[in-house]
Amino acid sequence: MGILKAAARAVGGALADQWLGGIEPGEMSDRTVFTAGVRTRRGSNVKGTENTVSNGSVIHVYPNQFMMVVDGGKVVDYTAEEGYYTVNNSTLPSLFNGQFGDSLKESFNRVRYGGMTPTVQKVFYVNLQEIKGIKFGTRNPINYFDNFYNAELFLRAHGTYSIKIMDPLLFYAEAIPKSRDRVEIEAINEQYLSEFLEALQSSINQMSADGIRISYVASKGRELGKYMADVLDEDWRKMRGIEIQSVGVASISYNEESQKLINLRNQGAMLSDPSIREGYVQGAIAEGLRSAGANSNGAMAGFMGMGMGMQAGGGFMGAASATNLQQMQMGQAAMGNMAGAGALAGQPNPGAALAGQAESWTCSCGTVNTGKFCSECGNPRPAANWVCSCGTVNTGKFCSECGKPRG
């Protein structure tokens, strides 16, 4: 039995003249990977044998479909090209390879004797479209060593992936359950999903070894797809004739301990900036003033309590602010040096805008000022603090600890 290409314009007349049936693919959605052909009869020709593909019958193949003719338990012919085909029992297999080239003939020789029960003649179709939206989710957290955080973190991943059938004959022989006329991807996905998740863990571990930061994993769908292809494609193609096309990571979540470590590291990174630290100090003072004003025992009692607290901790707060101010000044000085070097080299001065800005100072009432007196309470600006080489914070011209003059 073989199939021959038929001219589309002649198909209608041929069916009408010979009272033969046509064969169309069964219902095929974007989740269907395999379906049987459905016989369509015209006129009064309703007595044909259900499991027999009559000589001269016309088979319709649509784009992105692979059609195969099975007779007596073996694949006897196929085509991967769209169009109309006429069954001719007197011809040898035509084997229209289409997009697959001659490589499909090798699979034909390997699997043509496997398949259906003997004496049954049927037409089957394999979906060649990309099968999208196959959901996955990690059951257990996956370990991920992140060089940025210098810690072993654990994440969960959820998303979808897609596959494409690259060798339909091999897929039919190895993946399709026998005596099934229609197969959806969900019906055969359990084994594939287990293998996919195993490969996903290997791929994510490889991303960790390549130094990709854990927070970037969710945006690395293409790269993750390539990692997955390296792990799975060779095995899946040899075993079942399918390949991974893409991987979309919808969400990345961390276990509780990993989230705490990430938050702690991010907070530490922020507080390493002296300007942020100073803002944190001033924010704490402002929050204390607000809480004192809302004291249920009266604002005066609240402010008295806050005054005693500030008297006790004022030295620490002042030293902290002085250290922050010194580090900010050092940063500005470094920027000024870079600007000067750029000016000497004929480059624009990026620190010029900072040169005219007055240094700010914080009054004991919590107001940030730039002038000589506080704009809120009128207190004069205190003498600028300076840090001696011995580490003592001073306001006068000489160090109160070792007596060295102010640098």
* Helix 256-271 vs helix 274-293: crossing angle, to nearest 10: 100
Rounded distance between C-alpha atoms, residue 104 and residue 357, angstroms: 76
Question: Which CATH number goes with the domain that contains 211?
Answer: 3.30.479.30
Residues 6 and 120 reside in one and the same domain: yes
Q: For 50-59, 116-125, 246-255, which range has the lowest pLDDT when averaged over its residues?
A: 116-125
- Specify whether the CB–CB gap between 88 and 77 falls below 8 A: no
Q: For 139-153, 341-355, 370-384, which range has the lowest pLDDT when averaged over its residues?
A: 341-355
Domain end residue (candidates: 107, 127, 147): 127
Domain extent for 376: 367-407
Residues 76 and 44 reside in one and the same domain: yes
**Which comes out higher in pLDDT, residue 329 or 187?**
187
Rounded distance between C-alpha atoms, residue 287 and residue 164, angstroms: 60
**Total count of domains within the chain:** 3
Q: How many CB atoms lie within 10 A of CB 122?
A: 19
Residues 120 and 148 reside in one and the same domain: no
Give the residue among 35, 31, 109, 33 at the shortest CA–CA distance from 75.
109
Q: Is residue 360 part of a domain?
A: no
With 80 as the cut, is the pLDDT of residue 168 above it? yes
Tokens of 190: 């359990």
Rounded distance between C-alpha atoms, residue 335 and residue 354, angstroms: 9
Residues 80 and 177 reside in one and the same domain: no
Widest CA span of the chain, in angstroms? Answer: 119
Q: Is residue 49 part of a domain?
A: yes
CA geometry: angle at 146 spanning 145 and 152, to 5°?
A: 40
Residues 156 and 85 reside in one and the same domain: no
**Which comes out higher in pLDDT, residue 206 or 35?**
35
Residues 121 and 164 reside in one and the same domain: no
Span 343-360, mean pLDDT?
52
Residue 316: what pLDDT? Answer: 47
Residue 13: what pLDDT? Answer: 46
Q: CB neighbours of 41 closer than 8 A, spacing ≥ 6?
A: 21, 48
Instruction: Please state the φ and ψ torsions of residue 367, each to the nearest 5 degrees.
Output: -85, 135
Q: Dump pLDDT digits (tens) for 104-163.
A: 766 776 666 544 444 567 899 999 999 999 998 888 888 888 888 788 888 888 888 899
| pLDDT band (50, 70, 90) for residue 182 | very high
Cα 282 to the center of its chain, rounded Å: 40
Side chain identity at 392, as an amino acid letter?
T
Q: Is residue 338 part of a domain?
A: no
pTM above 0.85, yes or no: no
Residues 63 and 8 reside in one and the same domain: yes
Q: Is residue 103 part of a domain?
A: yes
Residues 62 and 118 reside in one and the same domain: yes
- Specify whether the CB–CB gap between 37 and 57 falls below 8 A: no
Domain end residue (candidates: 65, 96, 127): 127
Domain end residue (candidates: 79, 102, 127): 127
